[in-house]
Amino acid sequence: MASYERQQFKELDEDVDCIVEQVLLGTVERKLRSVCRLIYAVGKERFGVTPSERKQTTVSKNRRQI
């Protein structure tokens, strides 16, 4: 990983930590759900989303169906 990428992820981590400390209150389950959504939203905002290519699966008959 390049130095620039490391710096970007370090900044992301620090920013998410600050947001989490200020925003989250409540049970552990609620915090976990919120942290996951928060990390995804901040990462999506900063780095964007790369569309994934879906592989088309083929269905084949098993030996019993032949």
pLDDT value at residue 25: 75
Nearest CA-CA partner of 23 in 45, 41, 6:
41
Residue ranges, the chain, pLDDT below 50:
none
pLDDT value at residue 2: 79
Q: Which residue has the tokens 């990462």?
A: 43
- CA–CA gap between residue 60 and residue 66 (Å, rounded): 10
Angle at which helices 28-47 and 3-23 cross, to 10°: 140
pLDDT value at residue 66: 63
User: Domain residues of the chain, as ranges?
Assistant: 13-47
